[in-house]
Structure 1
Amino acid sequence: MTRVFSFFLLVLLVFGCNKKDQSSIAVPTDGSFTIEKEKEAILNTLNNETKAAFQRNYQEWQAYWVHDEDITKVYIDISERSFSESIGWKEISQFVKTFFEEHPEPEPVPELLDKIDVRLYGNGAWVTYMQNDSIRGLKKETRLMEKVGGEWKIAGMQTTIYGFD
């Protein structure tokens, strides 16, 4: 019995060590991939999504999001003592549609981002930045990004609103 167990353990170890890392991606060697190019593409997605949201353009806004049941959107407003969480594309989409219906007038677009902190993980990225909003004050944003069809899209968002001093 011990020999059988040892044999199966050895087989498991051999096959387990030979398994390819599914999370790795092939990085082009033709110079088309650089961290700065990826960061710039992420920055464009974030700025365009923000502009679309503040201008109440749902069709454009939704194009910058991953549309599946695992994405999340969280707002923590310290100054208003409020919290909201939406999970999955259907819930996030409905939250935004409702918000746009209840607040149809466009808002001033915050100063567009030029500096973000990015950690790349293959086809994913963790992004953080601070932004001033003329209506809500200082905000800290965290975004989980995924590269889908060659385009960076938002797969998770957490906004903490600190308000004005």
Structure 2
Amino acid sequence: MRKMIIFLLVLMFAGVLVAQGTVDVEKEKAAIKEVLEKSRNALWGKKYDEYINCWKHESYSILTTVTKNSFWELEGWDSISVNLKEHMENNPDPQKPVAFRKNYVIKIWKNTAWAYFEDFVMKAAEKDSSYVPWRTYTVFEKTIEGWKIVSWITMDRYTWRKAE
């Protein structure tokens, strides 16, 4: 009987440990989408401190934008923060976001996540029925403060579409 009680206690303890290690995927996806919305609203609203709070400030952080006619890449948090601050100082007027996001795909591991989504620029989509949305790929790390962006790569796929 004693062996059975010990066995059941060990089994219960193991079950508790396994339960503690599970991840609520939908909750984590919602938290990641919240970071994406906060970063978008802060960027368009010219709220530097709010925007940088969405990022993990690391030497391996990267911000890249690619279009048919241009490419720019900021590597490392120091470069990202300096360029972002300069951009906001040169363009200080807050604006309403002109794009909406949809078609999210998010993959979550324990403390890392990968996501991509489409950014639809409303005016362009309204004017052109062949409009192709921007595509953004992001990598996140989970910190004690929550999910933070470490990589952001945006492609303007519309500029590569075939003209009719």
Query: Does TM, normalized by the shorter one, top 0.5?
Result: yes
1:37-48 alignment to 2 at 5 Å?
A: 37-48=27-38
Ranges in structure 2 where 5+ consecutive residues have no aligned partner: 1-16, 126-132
Say if 1:31 and 1:88 are closer, same or farther in 2 by CA, change over 3 A. Answer: closer
Alignment of 1:40-79 (within 5 A): 40-78=30-68
Runs of 4+ in 1 over 3 A off after TM superposition: 30-33, 110-115, 134-137, 162-165
Normalised by the length of structure 1, the TM-score is 0.73
Percentage of matched positions with identical amino acids: 24
Does residue 123 of the first structure (1) align with residue 118 of the second (2)?
no
- What amino acid is aligned across from residue 74 of structure 1 in structure 2? T
Is the Cα contact below 8 Å between 1:54 and 1:106 reproduced in 2?
A: yes
Aligned partners of 1:94 and 1:136: how far apart in 2? 30
Q: 2:78 aligns with which of 67, 73, 90?
A: 90
Return the letter of the residue paired with 2:50.
E
Question: Cα deviations across residues 134-161 of structure 1 (Å, max 9, x unaligned)?
Answer: 4777311000011011501100000112
The TM-score normalised by the length of structure 2 is 0.74
Q: Aligned pair 1:142/2:137, yes or no?
A: yes
- Label 1:140 to 1:67 Cα distance change in 2 as closer, same or farther (>3 A): same
What's the counterpart of residue 90 of structure 2? Answer: 102
Aligned-residue RMSD, C-alpha: 2.5
Contact 1:136 1:161 in 2 (8 A): no
Residue 29 of structure 1: SS of its match in structure 2? helix
Number of aligned residues: 137
Higher helix proportion, which one?
Answer: 2
Deviation at 1:58, TM superposition (A): 0.2
Deviations 1:112-147, CA, capped at 9 Å, x for gaps: 546410111220011000011347773110000110
